[in-house]
Each structure stands twice: as C-alpha cells, then as structure tokens.
Amino acid sequence: MKVVFLAPSYPPEMQQYTRGLAEVGAEVYGVGDTPVGSLPASLKRHLANYLQVPRLMDEDDVVSRVAAWLNGRPVDKVLSNWEVMVLTAAKLRERLGVPGMSYDTVKGFRDKQLMKDRVRAAGIRTPKSMRVRTVADARSAAEKIGYPLVLKPISGAGSADTYRVDDAKELERVLAKMEHVTEASCEEFITGEEFTFDTICVGGKPVYMNVAQYLPPPLIARSEQWVSPVIITVRDLEQPKIQKGIALGKQVLSALKMGDGFTHMEWFFTPKGEAVFGEIGCRPGGAHLVDQMNYTGDVDLFREWARAVCHGRFEAPLTRKYNAAIIFKRAHGRGRITGVKGLQSFMRAHGEHVVEEKLLPVGAQRRNWKQTLLSDGHILLRHPDWQTTYDMAFEAARNITMYAE
C-alpha cells in the first residue's frame, strides 16, 4: 500500500504516525517543508520517498507539486494528522482520485461555524453561535447570543486566540486583540466540566474510544499564566455522565459523515446533567494526548491508527488499565530555567507511578506559554484509581515549581 503522508516530521509526534504507517506495511511518501538533509535518521528509515515543498501552508501549491511529483504513479491513501493540513490532504485526494473523506466533509471538521450548523441540523445540542467577520458582526452577534460568550477563530486549534467575554466593554478589548483574525465564531458560553471524546474510526464507526477531562477547562488554562494545566484520561468509561458524552460523540460523527482515522472532540457536562457539544477535529488530539491514551491501555495507537486507515482493522486490546494524568508546568520568571523546586520530594513519594518526567532542564530557554500548551515541560503519571491519580496530579501542580530569569 502506497500512502502520501503530509507533514511527516513536524509537529514532532507526526514522526510516530509515520513509523506506524511503515510498521503496518505502507510505503510512505512524505511531503513537508523540512529539507531532506535535516530529517532525523529515525524518520528517514520509515520513508519510501520524500518531497520537500517551499510553502507547506499553500494548499493549491502543495497539491500541484505533489501531483507533478507522482506523475501518474498510483497511491492508495492521502493522509495528514496535523490540523492545518487536513484540508490540503482532502483536496489532494480529490485531485488524485484517491478514496477518502471529501473536501466538503473535512471542512465540516475544520470550520467551526459550519461544524455547528451541521451538528445542530442533526438535532444535537450545541452552543448558540454565529460567524463574524467584522467588528460590527461581532457586536451584533453578542447582542443576539448574550453574555457571557466565547470568541474563537473559525479554523483555530488549541484554544489559541480564544476568549471569554462577559460584557460589552470586555468585547471591545477582545476585538482589539483579534484584529489579525479574519473570521471568528461568536458562541454561547457553556458552564460545566469539560471533557474530550477521542476515537479511531473505520467507516465512521469508533473501533477505539477515549475520554479525558481538562482540569481546569482550556479557556482558563490558556488565560491564567500560573495555572498548571492538568489532563486526565478516564479509565472507567461506563460512568453515566461519561456515557452521555460518548453517545453525543457518536451522534456527531454520524452527523459530520466521519470516515477513517482519528477524531478529537470536546464536550461539556453541565450542572443540569446535560452533555453539550463543543467542537471536533478529524485528527488526533495534541499536547501528548495520544501518549496518555497509550499509557492508559499499554497500547501503541500510532500503529493502530495506521492499521485502521490502511487495512480497516484495530488489533490492540481495548482494556483500560489506568487513569493517566499529564501536568504541564510553567516557570516563574523570564529567560532561562534556573531551578526546579519540589520535584525530588514528589518523585520520592510517587515516582513508581510517574511514566514520564520531561521538564525543561536548567539552562534551557523558557517557552512562550501563550503559544504552546506544552509550556516548560510535563510530568505524566498513571494509577488505576481515579481519585489517587487526581490527587497526585494536583500535588504535582501545586508543589512543583520551576523558576527562570
């Protein structure tokens, strides 16, 4: 099987999907903007061929260059797991006559307003929302939807440029920050716990499912610098409130005509016990969520995704052994990391449950917390009991402190 895989080297986790494709027998034709000489050796050995393009985000240019490069050679799949490339993959499939999700179908997973329109048309509870392109549009939408509300880019990801707005005065301040955003979704603010619903699908039907909880919700985590964001995968998916989210997610997949591959959905569980749709992408969750899912069941979902999209099968066990928590840390101060307090005592107490400790080392440049949820590194731990996992995660969030200057 010959597979064109867009962006095989960046973001870094894409190298694992490339590996997965090769391990299930695919000949992988990578397309990216990284020079071939700069590709890691660990990636190169999984590529049958590679095309460097000058402008990876130029959809039409990439499609033309890949079509010319293949020069009539048949391929079986065109894939991408990076949010910004899924529409390019769909357009290339249509250009080459390769089966898979159409451009229009994929747009329903990428355009947040179109997504909500299609989901709402299927009778599924979604936040009230309107597409806005101008300041006047946003003011008008705010009057119709009411406060509090959320403003977010139509095609955004990772809560970037996403704001809660509580009144008209705050709306004006937020609009000034969003001048670079050409289209936005103005949405009803939903109060409740926030969860994910993650799947690997074959023919639109989940062959693997995961739920994780955001603690706190991403909107808070991305607006308060000294919060240590925590995400915990849920071991027990049979809980009534979790089942409500799973049922909702399956309805959404049907409404949006999902095909094969990963999906990452966010949903709310309200104080009234209602499951409310948030948004969904036809790609895996970022910020090491797939690593968390792997640790939850001791599986390799990079390979199983590849098996599902190439051969229509999922062969890993579905037993969920652990709740897996990731804690992202943000250093106090600016500049380079100068020290970490509390890590050694935490590891003495809980080290047997820690599966990854990847905090930035002393001397490393602190990252811009506004631009990446990964912040200044993470700790990943797991335990079969939810409360124990939760308590350890928040002990790490409270008691481990990084410093920079």
Residue ranges and CATH numbers for the domains of the chain are 2-100 (3.40.50.20), 128-188 (3.30.1490.20), 193-404 (3.30.470.20)
pLDDT for 281: 97
pLDDT of 245 reads 98
Question: What is the Cα gyration radius of the chain?
Answer: 21
- Quote the CA–CA distance of 121 and 146 in Å, as a whole number: 22
Q: What is the pLDDT along the chain (405 residues), one digit of tens a residue?
A: 999 999 999 999 999 999 999 999 999 999 999 999 999 999 999 999 999 999 999 999 999 999 999 999 999 999 999 999 999 999 999 999 999 999 999 999 999 999 999 999 999 999 999 999 999 999 999 999 999 999 988 876 656 788 999 999 999 999 998 988 889 999 999 999 999 999 999 999 999 999 999 998 888 887 788 899 999 999 999 999 999 999 999 999 999 999 999 999 999 999 999 999 999 999 999 999 999 999 999 999 999 999 999 999 999 999 999 999 999 999 999 999 999 999 999 999 999 999 999 999 999 999 988 778 889 999 999 999 999 999 999 999 999 999 999
Q: What DSSP line would sit under 91-141, residue for residue?
A: HHHHHHT--S--HHHHHHHH-HHHHHHHHHHTT-----EEEE-SHHHHHHH
Helix (H) or strand (E) segment spanning residue 168: helix 168-177
Asked if residue 232 lies in contact with residue 393, where contact means CB atoms within 8 angstroms, the answer is yes
Q: What angle do CA 365, 369, 370 make, to 5 degrees?
A: 135
What pLDDT does residue 159 have?
60
Measured distance CA(154)–CA(132) in Å, rounded: 9
Q: Could you tell me how far CA 138 lies from the centroid of its own chain?
A: 27
DSSP per residue, 229-290: -EEEE-S-TTSHHHHHHHHHHHHHHHHTT--SEEEEEEEEE-TTS-EEEEEEESS--TTTHH
Instruction: Identify the pLDDT of residue 397.
Output: 97
Q: With residue 295 as reference, give the H or E element that holds it.
A: helix 289-297
Q: How many helices (H) and strands (E) does the chain have?
A: 14, 19
Distance of CA 239 to the CA centre of its chain: 24
pLDDT at 157: 62
DSSP symbol at 365:
B
Residue 70 and residue 95 in contact, taking contact as beta carbons nearer than 8 Å: no
DSSP state of 340: E
